[in-house]
Amino acid sequence: MLEHYEERKKFLPGLGKDMPETYGKLAEIFQYQVFELYEEVIGPRNSSYYIPYMMNDALECYLVLKDARITGEYLQLDPEEFPLQAQIAQRDGQTALIVKQGSENIFTIWFREIEESFQCYQYHRIGHFWVEGQEHWRQLVYMTGTIYDKYEYMKEKACSDLEMELMHLVEFPPFRFWSPVEESLEERYPSSPRGAACMKKFAKEAGDGMYAFLTGIYEKFPAEFLEKRLASMLCSPAREPLYEMIYEKIRKASLAYPKRDYGEPLNTEILKKRKAVNRRLKKAGFEGRYPFYRKDDLQIVATEEHPFTCMESRDFVFRIQFMVSKCRKACGRNGGFFRSRDRKSWILEDLDPVLSGGLERKSTG
């Protein structure tokens, strides 16, 4: 708390040096203009208020205002148009969080204390496909970036030793070249020799001597031409063992955490959708078990998009998308996404093109 106290106080006047670290995190929320509020009614006069601190596919972390009541009304306003200002005041054993939303609205939340509540979740089945091409590597960049982000906010208490090793991959520019979003990730994650050392270690472990050798050179001499070469080399089928090994490490790290629990109605709906996928593919002659299936030269991997367990938009729905590979020769997981004449790949939102034989209309390989 003391390390960043002076800076944090600028964004939350009334912040005291002796206050718990949770108050410092509350100040950060106003510093970055990301304040949101969710109410859980406990009784006729008492509520708990949840303020998200860090939310991604691997972690949900909230600040919880206990024994709270609100005067005024929190409005859903865009902070870019209505900048947030806040301050803390204490009286009679209670604390007041006074929030001003632009010049439009002021409300106050009185509460007894702030608690931090966080839960880590599995993330290895997550699939967001915002950029076309090399989606298999972009998926891994997204997952390792997600690990990196939760470490930045929560440190070791939210990350295993394996995750703290994996997250350094995003510090390796040829890996994060395959950004899962339209923008470059160069400013979001630092470049470091540690990232190259991590990739070199994984390449050696996967038996990829050529990639380990060139990564070792890049570690000492990070030239731009070599960076581009190493990024391009990841697209080659020769990198399949490296890709599969990194994915398996991510999967192992992810499985240490529980699945998201939405309560009976949504949990049942999700299970129903997974069973429907399994039933349709088995009926069409595919072998395997959710989320991985094969038939002849076709391979399908089901990926998922999940809502948060709290404060998610009501119109967000659980969604399954499919990574489909076609390889003339036997290949590994998502093998069709590697560049080769005898390989093709698709991202599909529905199984109909697979089951109707209409796949050839679009390829992203």
Contact criterion met (CB below 8 Å) for 260 and 121: yes
Helix H or strand E segment including 97: strand 94-101
Residue 313 pLDDT class (50, 70, 90 cuts): low
Contact criterion met (CB below 8 Å) for 105 and 73: yes
pTM as predicted: 0.91
Mean pLDDT of the chain: 92
Q: What is the pLDDT of residues 28-83, one digit of tens each?
A: 999 999 999 988 766 556 678 999 999 999 999 999 999 899 999 999 899 999 99
Alpha-carbon gap, residue 154 to 202, rounded angstroms: 26
How far from 350 is each of 219, 280, 285, 297, CA to CA, in Å? 42, 11, 17, 19
> What is the predicted pLDDT for the residue at 312?
61
Residue 234 pLDDT class (50, 70, 90 cuts): very high
Measured between alpha carbons, how far apart are the two ends of the chain, in Å?
49
**Which of 99-103, 207-211, 245-249, 305-309 has the least mean pLDDT?**
305-309
Tokens 């076309």 correspond to: 132
Q: Which residues pair with 40 in a beta bridge?
A: 48
> Is residue 340 scored above 80 in pLDDT?
yes
How far from 181 is each of 11, 224, 264, 348, 364, CA to CA, in Å? 30, 22, 33, 18, 16
- Phi then psi for 182, rounded to 5 degrees? -65, -30
At 210, list the tokens: 């050529």
| Rounded average pLDDT over 144-160 | 95
